[in-house]
Structure 1
Amino acid sequence: MFIGADRVKIARIQALKAEFKTMSMKEAEVVNEFATKLLRAVPSKFVQIASILEQFGDLDVMTVEEVIGRLKAHEERIRDHTDSEERKLLLTHKEWSEINKKKSENNK
């Protein structure tokens, strides 16, 4: 009796996924509404900055470009932090290799 309901749900999910992938600002949509949609669609690494923008930013006057710029700045900060952590690991590995090299030379 409700066999078609599952198909309708699947079709609706597919339509929503397609809409999400092609998210664009509609003609009648104001910047505030679009910026809020943008902030709700960010991946987990941006959730904190998106929340801060929603709480402390004035989305009524903030342009989409400004929102994107702030997200990019956050992304750069994450990248810089990750790069410095990787350098620490490489340095540690380098030091570890030198120590092992010295040990093997001393054992000869």
Structure 2
Amino acid sequence: MKDLKVKNYLFQAIDRTIMETILDKETAKGIWDSMKQKYQGSTKVKRAQLQALRREFEILGMKEGEKVNEYFSRTLTIANKMKAHGERMEQLVIIEKILRSMTSKYDYVVCSIEESNNLTTMTIDELQRSLLVHEQRMIGHSSGSGEEQVLKVALED
């Protein structure tokens, strides 16, 4: 009876496409073992995946024209995948990676952040907030003041 209950819970939690591959299993343990083998992977596979993620993290850099939020999202996605594979990812490592891989238009901002903050106590959220403020300022400066915008529109007409 317990086995039947557990099988029922498993069937409710498993996607239909995956369920088709385990319907032949007679016990909850059989289902569990099959799923574990298919999706958890062996130690060698995990190590290989972690190596690929490390490489991806190493070569990661902000793309020209990429927004701060987009770059943080890409970086944190890789870092979280690495954590899920057993890598110990300190905030400092992620912060330093982001700072050294920003595009050159952020050089003065990065220098300012490194000089005025203790990176060992800074959080990723604080870094992101600081970079977002600078990004907004750069967007504001590149689009000009309100008077300049009115003049540009008037000249275009």
Secondary structure, counterpart of 2:143 in structure 1 = helix
What CA distance in whole angstroms lies between the structure 2 residues aligned with 1:32 and 1:18?
Answer: 15
RMSD of the TM alignment (CA)?
3.1
Aligned to 1:68: 128
Equivalent in the alignment of 2:96: 36
2:112 aligns with one of 24, 27, 52? 52
Superposition TM-score, scaled by structure 2 size: 0.43
Q: CA deviation at 1:59?
A: 0.7
Task: Judge conservation of contact 2:109–2:134 (CA < 8 Å) in 1.
Answer: yes
CA contact 2:91–2:123 (8 Å) conserved in 1? yes
Match of 1:82 among 142, 146, 152: 142
User: How many Å separate the matches in 2 of 1:93 and 1:79?
Assistant: 18
Can you give the 5+ residue segments of structure 1 that lack an aligned partner in the other structure?
1-14, 98-108
Amino acid paired to 2:100: R
For residue 90 of structure 1, report the CA deviation from its aligned partner. 5.7
* More helix by percentage: 1
1:60 Cα deviation after fit:
0.8
Rounded Cα–Cα distance in structure 2 between residues aligned with 1:66 and 1:38: 13
**Alpha-carbon shift at residue 63 of structure 1 (Å):** 0.5
2:143–2:149 CA contact under 8 A, matched in 1 = no
Identity %: 20
- Aligned-residue offset at 1:43: 0.7
RCO greater where, 1 or 2, for CA within 8 Å and sep 6 or more?
1
When the two structures are aligned, how many residues end up with a matched partner? 83
Moved over 4 A (4+): 15-19
